[in-house]
Amino acid sequence: MADHSKTRTAFSDLHKDGCFVIPNPWDIGSAMMLKHLGFRALASTSAGFAFSRGLSDADWAVSCADMLTHIADIVQATDLPVNADFESGYAHDVEGLARNVRLCAETGVAGLSVEDATGDPSKPLYDFAHGVERIAAATEALRGTGVLLTARCEAVLVDHSAAVEEVLRRLPAYAAAGADVLYAPGLRNPSVIKAAVDAVGPKPLNLLVSSPIGLSVQQIAELGVRRISLGSALSRAAWGGFLRAARMLADQGRFDALSEAEPFDTLNGFFRTHGRSSD
């Protein structure tokens, strides 16, 4: 089995001070290009991968086995640390969650996230106690591996009636249960972001920026955030360029939007130089 201790140590070190951006590739080529652009770590995106397979980002629309294969592809694409978007762990019970978390760690990831969304519209979040129990089980499953566990509270994304209050209740509890990094996608207000940073400190907070929120990386860093992820945003940006060109052709019979395409020689030259062997 490959030794991933170096990337796992490097990933842990990134969280100790300052703030870094961890972009989310959706395939091997985008992972390679993001490394080339100078990013120091990568994260997978369940939505970006699902869209590339013609699937929605509904819980478990991509099977656990297919997601593990995809995560392994992203890990192997570069020598950068990778954090896996592992949805809700593909199991409701703690035993199944622990088993799947161990399988995810075996792909070589340096970190993985587990969320508390159930996928059931009638009860979108796991009960508080069960949510904490799940994080404790995932923590124990990763003990000794060096893999960082990110605990996600989905209260904002599921439109919880008291989303901010629930985030500020759950994230500290998940931290106490053993999570290394805390994360509540959907936070946008600077005062709320700062409150979340303070609630989980000294453990690091990951902030999702999937669209412009009026804050720069520097301003987010000044709030105390240690890690900024992009979720599906880069994959959706790629879809945006594709659809602009395709719609113009379909609706107007014009090719103008193709002028925005990255030059063939640029991409071909990059992958000729940096691409992997087909063996």
What the block records as the tokens of 253 is 């019979």
Q: What's the pLDDT score for residue 60? A: 85
User: How many Cβ atoms from other residues are within 10 Å of residue 246's Cβ?
Assistant: 12
SS (H, E, C) 31-97: HHHHHHCCCCCEECCHHHHHHHCCCCCCCCCCCHHHHHHHHHHHHHHCCCCEEEECCCCCCCCHHHH
In order of start, what are the domains of the chain with their CATH numbers? 5-231 (3.20.20.60)
Q: Residues 218-267: pLDDT tens digits? A: 999 999 999 999 999 999 999 999 999 999 999 999 999 999 999 999 99
What the block records as the tokens of 192 is 């709320």
Identify whether the C-beta of residue 235 lies closer than 8 Å to the C-beta of residue 24. yes
Identify whether the C-beta of residue 53 lies closer than 8 Å to the C-beta of residue 25. no
Residue 276 has pLDDT above 80, yes or no: no
What string of DSSP letters covers 155-179? TTTTT-TTHHHHHHHHHHHHHHTT-
pTM confidence score: 0.96
Identify whether the C-beta of residue 26 lies closer than 8 Å to the C-beta of residue 234. yes
Q: Residues 26-57: pLDDT tens digits? A: 999 999 999 999 999 999 999 999 999 999 99
Alpha-carbon separation of residue 166 from 94, 158, 199, 201 (angstroms): 22, 11, 12, 17
Residue 1 has pLDDT above 80, yes or no: no
Identify whether the C-beta of residue 83 lies closer than 8 Å to the C-beta of residue 109. yes
Q: Residues 181-211: pLDDT tens digits? A: 999 999 999 999 999 999 999 999 999 999 9
pLDDT band at residue 275 under the 50/70/90 scheme: confident
Name residue 228's beta-bridge partners: 21, 207
